[in-house]
């Protein structure tokens, strides 16, 4: 039986694995895809202390190696279910069943979709949710980014260095991104902002060819030839796995305070998956450290 199982390998999970290793706990981190979570889709991380400018992918690799240095153990499997048997937590994966005294939930969030026709069909065929991952396929092409927050503006700036033309489609008449990024965007010649508008249709058979954009105020419709569409309209918590296990708020986030405790003793929630006011790499990393501190206290008493 493990002391701790960490489900998810984003920045919160990686830091939890690091702290668990340093505390000499018998811990295991289980990740479905790749370490780093959504952080790896960020082209530039400029607000993580100690790194003036680093890609999300590079920062994820550094965190991963740091955790491994202190004995962090990681396996790449899909967790299918988590069950409670008294004080024992059973983590059921696609290949094996694990038991632990403590489970730390770090599944993060997944990109929110537009919900328009053909979005699923054209996924990977012109429609993307990761400009850093897929931007290189659109060199000298025409692309659009949907959104108005930090990620959308960062994506537009990243794509402006690759694509011939970049449209940023914002449903409001202002952007929510930080002012520094906005100023960079406004000075970028090959970026055009379409205000007060949403994407209402996608066209194309085997690949994206055109998009329909509708103005929220006038209902005026514009159709644009388009090679790539990058959706950056936020994310939804990946809590489907535990919706019947721990308490969630109305938006689907796990209810947990700064001590990362959930409604079930011995189960903690960290990073973007829990209720919190700020969701950034730094706050996720902080959760990872706190969760192991709280897990140690739990283990002493159980």
For the annotated catalytic residues, the residue numbers are 130, 133-134
Contact predicate 9/35, CB 8 Å: yes
Distance CA 161, CA 129 (A): 18
Residue with tokens 């889709």: 41
Distance CA 240, CA 6 (A): 17
Distance CA 157, CA 186 (A): 10
Within the chain, strands assigned E span 2-7, 27-31, 74-76, 79-85, 88-93, 97-105, 109-111, 127-128, 142-146, 165-169, 191-194, 197-203, 210-215, 221-225, 228-231, 235-237, 267-269
Q: What angle do CA 238, 243, 247 make, to 5 degrees?
A: 110
- DSSP class of residue 47 equals S
Instruction: Give alpha helix (H) positions in the chain.
Output: 11-22, 56-69, 131-134, 150-160, 179-186, 281-301
Contact predicate 42/154, CB 8 Å: yes
Q: b/e map of 155-193 (b: 16 or more CB within 10 Å)?
A: bbbbbbebbebbbbbbeeeebebeeebbebbeebeebeb
243: Cβ–Cβ under 8 A, 6 or more apart, which residues? Answer: 252
Contact predicate 101/31, CB 8 Å: no
């Amino acid at each position: 039986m493990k002391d701790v199982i960490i489900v998810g390998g984003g920045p919160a999970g990686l830091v939890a694995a690091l702290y668990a290793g340093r505390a000499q706990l018998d811990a295991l981190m289980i990740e479905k895809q790749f370490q780093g979570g959504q952080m790896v889709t960020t082209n530039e991380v400029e607000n993580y202390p100690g790194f003036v400018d680093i890609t999300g992918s590079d920062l994820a690799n550094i965190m991963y190696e740091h955790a491994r240095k202190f004995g962090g153990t990681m396996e790449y499997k899909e967790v299918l279910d988590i069950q409670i048997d008294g004080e024992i937590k059973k983590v059921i994966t696609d290949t094996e069943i694990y038991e632990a005294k403590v489970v730390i939930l770090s599944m993060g969030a997944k990109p929110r979709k537009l919900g328009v026709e053909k979005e699923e069909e054209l996924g990977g065929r012109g429609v993307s949710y990761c400009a850093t991952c897929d931007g290189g396929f659109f060199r000298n092409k025409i692309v659009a980014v949907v959104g108005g927050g930090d990620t959308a503006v960062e994506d537009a700036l990243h794509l402006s260095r690759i694509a011939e033309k970049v449209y940023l489609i914002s449903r409001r008449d202002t952007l929510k991104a930080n002012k520094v990024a906005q100023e960079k965007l406004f000075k970028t010649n090959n970026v055009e902002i379409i205000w007060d508008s949403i994407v209402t249709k996608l066209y194309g058979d085997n690949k994206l060819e055109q998009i329909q954009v509708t103005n929220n105020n006038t209902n005026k419709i514009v159709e644009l030839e388009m090679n790539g569409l990058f959706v950056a309209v936020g994310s939804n918590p990946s809590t489907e796995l535990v919706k019947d296990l721990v308490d969630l708020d109305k938006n689907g986030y796990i209810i947990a305070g700064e001590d990362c405790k959930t409604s079930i003793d011995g189960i903690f929630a960290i990073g973007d998956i829990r209720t919190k006011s700020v969701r950034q790499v730094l706050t996720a990393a902080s959760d990872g450290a706190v969760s192991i501190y709280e897990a140690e206290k739990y283990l002493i008493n159980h």
